[in-house]
Structure 1
Amino acid sequence: MAFKNHSSRIVPSSSSSVSTSLPFRFTTIITLALIFCSSYYIFFSQFDYSPVTSSLENPPFVGDLRDLTFPWNKLSLGPISEKLKLAVFCKSWPVGSIPGGMERHAYTLYTSLASRGHEVHVFTVSSDKSNHENIQEYYNKGDLHIYFAPNKNGVLNQTQAFEIFQRINGVDDHPFDYVHTESVSLPHWRIKMVPKGDVAVTWHGIWYEIIHSKLFQELYYSNEHPSSDLEQMMPRLVNEIRFFSSYKHHICISNSAREVLVNIYQLPKRNVHVIVNGVDQNKFVYSPESGARFRAKHGVPDGNGTVIVMGVSGRLVRDKGHPLLYEAFALIAKTHPQVYLLVAGSGPWGRRYAELGENVRVLGSLEPEELSGFYNALDVFVNPTLRPQGLDLTIIEAMHCGKPVVAPNYPSIVGTVVVDERFGYTFSPNVRSLVETLDSVVRDGSSVLEIKGKACKGYALSMFTATQMASAYERFFMCMKNDRYCKYPLPIDN
């Protein structure tokens, strides 16, 4: 099977159509490419890739936490006895159906903060999009309070959510200590209605990164379907840059996003922070036994180290890169018949993967308790996404289970997660590069993959745990409330 020949695809037959579309497409691609290239130096010239907190080259941090340029998760932050009352606006909360990455992040963070004794009020909707005739509190579990405010389509009714917030603020003469929003769940034009206007926002993706996503997808799909979205992208980016300053403090989940907000969006350095996502380190653990059971359950043969099992999970849709992996694995399976692919998730590309034959196992959606067994059944985890935005939790989950990863060489990934070759492999988002990378994986073999997996586990435990994420957010909110907590180290710090 040959590599995809983009030039052979059908294009519009009308010469006028081609002539009018080509200048726009050429100009757009060149413009986006220039943006990408100009930011490349910004990204990689300033990153601190070291996974350790201190060394001879990287001395221990001492000073004001607002001056940090690396993730707060790297610091050994001690427990805080003082309690907070927090208001949180969140896109959705996991209920019923299997949660996505955003829901898992929200659940992990806010349940962790509540377990520390902080009073957390979350204004959101259920992830299953169910509608409620009346706004109601979903549950009150100790210090965690969840309020649903859906509109008729089941998405967050921002007006009603804010009305609930205003009713609760100041109850028992105790107003919220701080207000936090996940992305634009609390829109920028409402900030002036928040007392003191002191709001922090966590960005899980920004338009600058979305432009990169569209660029990579445009380059991959070539003339298959010219994108009309590109016409509106630059004005939306400019609009976003203008309203970001409405939020006082910005939390990024990758080093690269921080560099963009400081250097491109021109936000004050002291107002931009990095707290990377974490997952429950007690749920995602290294367990060869559970991996062996998972392989046996799904009919993956044990080749005594000769069989290489790759895996992919998540929504099986186009922008997650599944056409890319489909083509690459079809080629790899022909030259390496001992390689298997486990596909976990739901979506239209599940049926396509099944066409690849007996070396592919399409598992469908897995329950949360099955995910650890899935990761442990792998020799390597593959994330082929064409969306260089945010920070995919699946990569972090796989690393916690002691598995190396194959991921695109996007700034958010190589600057924060797969920071060097000890942790896996990176590729350019095209079929040829992915095939070459997967071939390297097979040639390295299970023994090398196991060594890389152990390094991944150690790095994940040093950076990407729910405990570290919650500690970082806790200290951030305390710092916003009282400057005393902005100093590091304090006597409470390890």
Structure 2
Amino acid sequence: MLHCNSLRILCTGMGWPSAQPGGLNTYFKHICESLATRHELEALVCSANKPVVQDDLRVTNVAVTDLKLSKRRDAFRKHAAELMNGQDIDIVYSHFAPYSIGVAMEAKARNIPVVMTFHGPWSEEIRLEGKGLKHRIKTMIAKSWEMKAYRLADAFIVLSETFRDILHHQYGVPLSKIHIIPGGADVARFKPAVNRTAIRKKLQLEEGTTAVLTLRRLVNRMGLLQLLEAWKEVARTIPDAVLFIGGKGPLQGELESRIAEYGLQSRVRMLGYIPDGELADYYQAADLFVVPSQALEGFGLITVEAMAAGVPVMATPIGGNREILQKYRPDMLFAGKSSQDMASGLIRLLRHREMWPTAEQCRSHVLENYTWDRVSKQVDSVFNHVIDQHLIAYGGNRQVSAGKKGGREQDEGSLFGSYR
């Protein structure tokens, strides 16, 4: 079937990284920006502050983050319904299950196809970070919301084979509905330093220091406690290596206590939250980047960002990181996810820097496989496939919702008329 160059897309995300940092929000920002270069796109988010966006992108904050989750969900539905009543939407593209439910229901009432990107099992992430009866109930409610949202989707995009398998086995989504499209890096922003010495001086890195960097949300599944345990052995063996941990989260106090308990105050530096605008400097200053994830690493956005900046990455063989490095440099994967596996791998690598991939090799792998332009074009293909299937299923006609704004009628098929 023939497609026009421009679609009218309604995107719903969780937040915007300028106000609410995180991998999902970073992904959402970049895919929206890239799609907006070719399509008419409206993005809805929930944010405590006004999102900072580029001039040609329409992003609306539909609710503040301190509202109850159910009220935020309802705000997304109400705003999406108003948009659908006021203009024709070709496709809804959703990124966070709780906020997707009402929006998808409104889309279905108007016969608009829905594509969802599955960023991971939200309920499982909740389960891993707490315990007790109230927490179990919270987990069960989250899972029911996920199931309700996913039943409404025509197709899914996942960032790795790992998340494809989770979506299929744990949520019962048919494999035929799932499309694997890895994420990307902002290669214009994350690139090797022109003057690395100046950046290291700016960040107060002493000459001769081997800087090993990780940037993580400080929660259990990110593997930072295991990394600290491993670093005890690394510190005894590699005298010039210093570990830098960037990020914030509930594990901060425990990490600081462990550093003191292990006597690593001079060998580990907690950086706190690193503002988005400073990330490139930290990547460029590092000698090695490490990703110690223990579970639910769907892609590894920081992995490809670091590599785009020319920094070798060593990671546990979990989720997307395994898939990124296995096809590139499998020797940069730890044997497993235990602290001993990390210690052995880091010591092996730090003793033999001649084994490391060069900055050019790291960046080339990203340029060939993980750019946002590449990602958005693959997402376009999914959209067109879903629209084609929708046209076939409905005979090329669109049934207009009785709730269309002002009660005005619309010719059947007008939404997709431009595709014929």
Shorter-chain TM-score bucket reads 0.7 to 0.9
Answer yes or no: is 1:377 the counterpart of 2:282: no
Number of residue pairs the alignment of both structures matches: 381
Residues 184/240 of structure 1: CA separation in 2 closer, same or farther (3 Å cut): closer
1:111 corresponds to which of 33, 37, 40: 33
**Number of the residue aligned with 1:311:** 213
**Number of the residue aligned with 1:9:** none
- 1:286 and 1:457 map into 2 onto residues whose CA distance is 8
- 1:284 and 1:256 map into 2 onto residues whose CA distance is 26
Answer yes or no: is 1:351 the counterpart of 2:259: no
Note if contact 2:62-2:79 (Cα within 8 Å) is conserved in structure 1.
Answer: no
**Number of the residue aligned with 2:198:** 293
1:238: how far off? 7.9
**Number of the residue aligned with 2:92:** 179
Note if contact 1:111-1:144 (Cα within 8 Å) is conserved in structure 2.
Answer: no
Residues 102/228 of structure 1: CA separation in 2 closer, same or farther (3 Å cut): same
- 2:146 and 2:15 map into 1 onto residues whose CA distance is 25
1:429 corresponds to which of 337, 358, 363: 337
SS of the equivalent of 2:234 reads: helix
Residues 321/151 of structure 1: CA separation in 2 closer, same or farther (3 Å cut): closer
- 1:376 and 1:105 map into 2 onto residues whose CA distance is 21
Note if contact 2:213-2:244 (Cα within 8 Å) is conserved in structure 1.
Answer: yes
Answer yes or no: is 1:193 the counterpart of 2:116: no
- 2:152 and 2:389 map into 1 onto residues whose CA distance is 22
Residues 288/321 of structure 1: CA separation in 2 closer, same or farther (3 Å cut): farther
- 1:144 and 1:278 map into 2 onto residues whose CA distance is 22
Note if contact 2:31-2:372 (Cα within 8 Å) is conserved in structure 1.
Answer: yes
Deviations 1:340-369 (A, max 9, x none): 222222341563476413233333322323
**Number of the residue aligned with 1:268:** 174
- 1:462 and 1:209 map into 2 onto residues whose CA distance is 33
Letter in 1 for 2:293: T
SS of the equivalent of 2:356 reads: helix
Q: Give the structure-1-normalised TM-score.
A: 0.67
**Number of the residue aligned with 1:459:** 365
- 1:286 and 1:229 map into 2 onto residues whose CA distance is 47
Structure 1 stretch 225-234 or stretch 425-434: which is displaced more? 225-234
- 2:160 and 2:151 map into 1 onto residues whose CA distance is 19
Residues 333/285 of structure 1: CA separation in 2 closer, same or farther (3 Å cut): same
- 2:304 and 2:52 map into 1 onto residues whose CA distance is 29
Answer yes or no: is 1:400 the counterpart of 2:301: no
What's the RMSD between the two structures over aligned residues? Answer: 3.6
Residues 167/233 of structure 1: CA separation in 2 closer, same or farther (3 Å cut): closer
Q: Give the structure-2-normalised TM-score.
A: 0.78
1:391 corresponds to which of 299, 307, 310: 299
SS of the equivalent of 1:115 reads: coil
**Number of the residue aligned with 2:417:** none
Answer yes or no: is 1:150 the counterpart of 2:55: no
Letter in 2 for 1:100: G
SS of the equivalent of 1:109 reads: helix
Compare relative contact order (CA 8 Å, sep 6+) and give the higher one, 1 or 2. 1
**Number of the residue aligned with 2:352:** 444
Matching of residues 225-374 of structure 1 within 5 Å: 243=148, 244-262=150-168, 265-287=171-193, 289=195, 291-303=196-208, 307-347=209-249, 348=252, 351-352=256-257, 355=260, 356-374=264-282
2:81 corresponds to which of 163, 166, 182: 166
Note if contact 1:170-1:176 (Cα within 8 Å) is conserved in structure 2.
Answer: no
2:7 corresponds to which of 78, 84, 93: 84
Residues 242/474 of structure 1: CA separation in 2 closer, same or farther (3 Å cut): closer
Residues 192/367 of structure 1: CA separation in 2 closer, same or farther (3 Å cut): closer
Structure 2, unaligned runs of 5 or more: 393-420
Matching of residues 40-79 of structure 1 within 5 Å: none
2:46 corresponds to which of 121, 125, 133: 125
Residues 450/151 of structure 1: CA separation in 2 closer, same or farther (3 Å cut): closer
Answer yes or no: is 1:202 the counterpart of 2:109: no
1:202: how far off? 0.6
**Number of the residue aligned with 1:68:** none
Structure 1, unaligned runs of 5 or more: 1-63, 65-79, 218-224, 487-494
Note if contact 2:183-2:375 (Cα within 8 Å) is conserved in structure 1.
Answer: yes
Deviations 1:32-78 (A, max 9, x none): xxxxxxxxxxxxxxxxxxxxxxxxxxxxxxxx9xxxxxxxxxxxxxx
Letter in 2 for 1:393: L
Deviations 1:234-259 (A, max 9, x none): 97798578543332211111122223
Residues 386/191 of structure 1: CA separation in 2 closer, same or farther (3 Å cut): same
SS of the equivalent of 2:333 reads: strand
Residues 294/408 of structure 1: CA separation in 2 closer, same or farther (3 Å cut): same
Residues 110/276 of structure 1: CA separation in 2 closer, same or farther (3 Å cut): same
SS of the equivalent of 1:361 reads: strand
